Structure 1
Amino acid sequence: MKRSAMVLLGLVVVALGLAAKQLPGVDGGPAAPIAGPQVAVGAPNRGSESVGVELGPLVIEGRGTRTTSVVGDGGTVVLAAGYGVRTSGAAPALRLSLERRVGSGKWESTSAPVRQDEHGLHVSTPPWSASGAAPATTIAYRIASASFIDAAGVAPAVRSRSVSVVYENQAAYTGLAAQIYRDAAPYCPTTAVRIADLMGDVAGDYQPGTSLIRIDAVVGTGAMARPEIVRSVALHECSHERQWLNYDGTNEGRKRMLAAAAAQFSSYDPMGVGATGPSGPLKSDIRPIEHAADCGAMALEPRGYLGYGGSCSPTQLEAARRLLTGGRY
């Protein structure tokens, strides 16, 4: 082998090693946990409280305490809030709605149904087209409860605090962002893409509660500029996005996804596709959601690589492909 060829091979190994590094809780990991929505129904205290509804802080499922999210054209997130009702009799049927404010405009009602159950209030934001001239549009959302009449008085209308979602217009992307979106779009059409400095720890990441893939600027340079490598990174992160979205885009859905991934991606097939050696690591060394995302990339880009090592069995490749095409593990 010529020296130049040997140097190139060395660059590939180093670059792929970068993609394999992982910070706990970053690539596909959960956001900081917070207490779930709470529900309370009770009578007003005589002389101190009036009848009414109290809305807890509105949160974006998967985002912990953060009040912002990013999606692409047509993307959606799930919002949740706790609530309490003070009434002199049976709890009334609340008239709830999701309101939004586009940019600095006026608040307006949407037709999105607000679900009310023992766990709180839940609503999916309606799709928004970001395909206009602006590269991004910010929309604020809040839940509103209309007034109602109780034997003890009139409950006033109330509104929750607001959260914001940035909708990016993918048609405005250029360079590496455009290439990543082009590779991911058949399977993650509503994703946004941002090129960021991820400190050399991961080639890309995805966080629940968004439709946003972040890619380190090193991708697309040097040995990592090979089209199959860029596509592998895009499909790996798209798999993480689908791990969230295909399981309802909620924290409860994520629990089901983690269980399904653990059941199917907790082992390597030593003779499987992408095998890096005669045997993979012990079961305890495998991160199922990462191995699942690797197998998703390998299923659709066989020329790519497994950033977290090991190999994929035919059954794993089939399950990983199923997720990327809209199904579940």
Structure 2
Amino acid sequence: MKIGVMGAGAVGCYYGGMLARAGHELVLVGRPTHVEALQQRGLRLQTAAFDVELPVRASTEAAALIDAALVLFCVKSTDTEAAGLELRDHLAPDALVLSLQNGVDNAERLQALVGVPVWPAVVFVAAEMAGPGHVKHNGRGELVIGPTAVHGTSGTLEAAGLLALLGDAGVPAETGNNVAGVLWAKLVLNCAYNALSALTNLPYGPLVAREGIARVMDDLVAECLAVAAADGVRIPGEVPASVRRIAQTMPAQFSSTAQDLRRGRRSEIDHLNGYVVRRGEATGTPTPVNRCLHALVKALEAPPT
């Protein structure tokens, strides 16, 4: 099967690489530096269990994804509309697009632009680009996928077929009836860690060991849960415990926001803590801690005057 990745960063390269390793044709669309390395050497997929180089096709243009049956949409939340407009004229009529993005509203934003089904997926993976064309997997890797009547069905891949495709590639995946709640659960994790990791330049384990950080995280989580409840969202599981567990399971992981700031790139903070602030304003729910961290990250993103 031809599988495309729109946004060949760490998430797209990891999941795309797992599918390529299972024998599927993989086409990656990404930045010129990565594309050049992918064209010359293929994709290096490094995990604790194996370290392989995979033959792939790569391009900077979305036109390379024509005829792909499955497209993993992995661009930053800030680029959803621009990338969606670039992609839409090159999608096969029976293609399925899977949104593997941070934030809670990307699938809806993308669905409004493209003429094929877009399914949201909640991503739980620690991965990083260790160099051009080189993705390193640091932990986890499961997906929760939400094909619903709202997002439609695909002529080529139904939910069961997609789960089988991913499972055969070594990617644990499941569907859920409350994907909105799971997306919010992931949002809360990101809100708790991303900005603080970026502002302190610390990975998760050392971060939570610093004096006062755990209590700040507790305040962040409480704000997020209050906003979700006011928005009518039911978040499954014991969220505070899940937040604490991240530092134990991924102690060496830097947040994607920290990695973005380090590289001088615009982060997704507007769609993480900033999203909570906006929904708090809409529902009349106070969000002072989220507002503070959002403002501080935005200040670091701004060019010096």
TM-score scaled by length of structure 1:
0.29
- Specify the structure having the higher radius of gyration (Cα): 1
TM-score scaled by length of structure 2:
0.30
Q: Which structure has the higher relative contact order (CA within 8 Å, separation 6+)?
A: 1
